[in-house]
Structure 1
Amino acid sequence: MRADRLVSLVLLLRRHGQLSAATLARELEVSTRTVLRDIEALSAAGVPVYAERGRHGGFALLPGFRTELTGLNHDEALALLVAGSRRGAQVFGLGSSLASAMLKVVDALPESYRRTAAGAAERLLIDPEIDLLSRRVAEEELPDEVVAEVRRAVFAGHRLRIRYEAGDAEPEWRTVDPIGLVTVREQGYLLATRLGEDRTYRLSRILAAEELDEPAQRPDRVDLDRVWQERGTRFRAGGEQVAVVLRVRPARREELVGTALAVLAEEPDGEWLRMEVTFQDSRHAEWAVWQLSTGAEALEPQWLRESLRDRAGAVAARYGEGRERPESLAPE
């Protein structure tokens, strides 16, 4: 534990430059006395830590000092290896870079950690390509050169010119101020503003991109999680949404929640759950409830009940029709 803490102390000093003993103690969750003992231990081991006296003083490393990655413990190394299997890097065009980084990390590990971490990583699988029903995860085709250009503009804080295909409309060029990149369920999005208005673009619909020299009009700091939630709230509040009241089997609840825009109310109803949810439009509502089969029953609105009844009747009629069996299958 102390070895891990010493490495963390050095990394904190490398990142922040100079920190007081009190700040180090708070970051490491130890006492100030422990920090002072750790500083002495580092100095004795040859790590060039020096103290600045005075009111605004603290501890710092000599300029240019670097550490190796051998300070990683087993769980930290394992976390890095597991991170390499996440698909977010693929969505943002960083798959090859992440793979290269993982090789460098593994090469820098002590031999004992390298063997145990790699062996443990083999026993963890994150986001496989297919689920238990052999359904393949849909992956978007994202040209590396397009995503790389978008990524560079986001990180550099430059304006971006994109050729975007919105739905069935003809692709057109537009200039945007990029804010950040988000990946959700294997789909990548560019959050941006255009002419001062919030815009969200699917990366798979960006056919071409060009980073401009102009600085983007955006705040210096951003809370992407908050921005994403706010845009999601506005999206769900707009358009001709449909509210549906239905009974659903508890085992199918997550499936329903995963397709609905929002859950407005929920309460037990015997062996069922009574829920009120919203869908994007009538087609979305009918499709989503139909997928649940007998695991759900739409109660309101009436037009949805009738639509599902008519669809079920048509399917039953189709399979109830007589059909001659092929001669090869007829009994002798």
Structure 2
Amino acid sequence: MRADRLVSLVLLLRQHGRLSATTLARELEVSTRTVLRDIEALSAAGVPVYAERGRHGGFALLPGFRTELTGLNHDEALALLVAGSRRGAQAFGLGSALASAMRKVVDALPESCRATAAGAAQRLLIDPETDLLSRRQVAEEVPDTVVTEVRCAVFAGHKLRIHYAAVDQTPKWRTVDPIGLVTVRGQGYLLATRSGEDRTYRLSRILAAEELAEPAQRPDRVDLSRAWQERSTRFRTGGDQVTVLVRMDPARREDLVGTALAVLAEEADADGWLRLEVTFQDSRHAEWALWHLGAHAEALAPQWLCTSLRNRAAAIAARYGVSP
């Protein structure tokens, strides 16, 4: 236990620079006195850790001191950092790098741990390709040549030229300033700016990409999680949103709420069903959501949605020779 804690202490100092004894104690979940004893032990073992006095003092390692897993190249190390989601590594074109890195990690394990770790790994399955209903989660395929150019431009901070096929538009070349990459349920996105305006591009719609030598116009630091949240909010609140009034079986409420953008009002009818006013991204979104609820829901307004659902049901009934 103490050996693991000493390694963690060194890694904390490597990753964060100078840290106070109080901060180290909080991160390691031990007392300040234990941290001080650990610092003494590291120093006695030859680890170049030193104390800085003063109000903003703390403990730090001498510049240049490194503890690294030898043999990992840049892409393999990057793959390990996104290995929390195997699909994420694949979406960013790092699937083969992840496999290679994991082989090196296994090889670096002590022989006594290697067999037990491999055996334990066989008993864990994370993010399978199908769920219990055999619904396959299909990750989008993006050519390696494309995702590599995009990824390199993002990391190098260079402008990127992409041949992009927007929905219902002829593919066009455009030059963007890349900000970062995001993967959501197997779908990859490029966050960028174009002429100073925020843009989000789906990786699977980038037909070709070319990293340029010109530096990208972007801030040095970015909170990618916040940027994605802001763009998601703008996407949900923009476009051709529609508001729908619907009656439904309360047992299926979560199915509707889970796909709607927002619930504006809700009340119970005398028969026990719920009456909700909800918003959807557009007309197709609304029709899709209500259709999948079948007889468990009834659209009350707008009239075009009621008509569309009725026509679709009539067409299905006619197909199977049943009178509407």
TM bracket (short chain): 0.7 to 0.9
Contact between 1:159 and 1:215, CA under 8 Å: does it hold in 2? Answer: yes
The CA distance in 2 between the partners of 1:119 and 1:251, in whole Å, is 42
Report how far residue 207 of structure 1 moved.
0.9
In structure 2, relative to structure 1, the CA distance for the partners of 1:253 and 1:173 (3 Å cut) is same
SS at match of 1:19: coil
Contact between 1:51 and 1:57, CA under 8 Å: does it hold in 2? Answer: no
Contact between 1:159 and 1:176, CA under 8 Å: does it hold in 2? Answer: yes
Unaligned runs of 5+ in 2: 70-79
Aligned to 2:72: none
In structure 2, relative to structure 1, the CA distance for the partners of 1:224 and 1:57 (3 Å cut) is closer
In structure 2, relative to structure 1, the CA distance for the partners of 1:47 and 1:265 (3 Å cut) is farther
1:74-89 counterparts in 2 under 5 A?
83=83, 86-89=86-89
* Superposed CA offset, 1:70-101 (max 9, x none): xxxxxxxxxx7994762011111111111112
Q: Higher mean Cα deviation, 145-154 or 165-174? A: 165-174
Q: Normalized against structure 2, the TM-score is what?
A: 0.84
RMSD: 2.8
The CA distance in 2 between the partners of 1:253 and 1:120, in whole Å, is 40
In structure 2, relative to structure 1, the CA distance for the partners of 1:210 and 1:68 (3 Å cut) is closer
Unaligned runs of 5+ in 1: 70-79, 323-332
Aligned residues: 311
Aligned to 2:75: none
Aligned to 1:243: 243
Aligned to 2:76: none
Contact between 1:84 and 1:98, CA under 8 Å: does it hold in 2? Answer: no
In structure 2, relative to structure 1, the CA distance for the partners of 1:18 and 1:226 (3 Å cut) is closer
In structure 2, relative to structure 1, the CA distance for the partners of 1:136 and 1:208 (3 Å cut) is same
* Superposed CA offset, 1:159-196 (max 9, x none): 11111111232211111011111111211111111001
Q: Higher mean Cα deviation, 146-155 or 102-111? A: 102-111
In structure 2, relative to structure 1, the CA distance for the partners of 1:118 and 1:247 (3 Å cut) is farther
Matched, 1:155 2:155: yes
Report how far residue 65 of structure 1 moved.
4.4
1:100-179 counterparts in 2 under 5 A?
100-179=100-179
The CA distance in 1 between the partners of 2:267 and 2:42, in whole Å, is 59
Aligned to 1:74: none
The CA distance in 2 between the partners of 1:50 and 1:210, in whole Å, is 45
Q: Normalized against structure 1, the TM-score is what?
A: 0.82
- Pair member with larger Rg: 1
In structure 2, relative to structure 1, the CA distance for the partners of 1:57 and 1:180 (3 Å cut) is same
Aligned to 2:48: 49
Contact between 1:236 and 1:262, CA under 8 Å: does it hold in 2? Answer: no
What one-letter code is carried by the residue in structure 1 that aligns with 2:295?
Answer: T
Report how far residue 227 of structure 1 moved.
1.3
Matched, 1:313 2:280: no
What one-letter code is carried by the residue in structure 2 that aligns with 1:49?
Answer: P
Contact between 2:86 and 2:95, CA under 8 Å: does it hold in 1? Answer: no
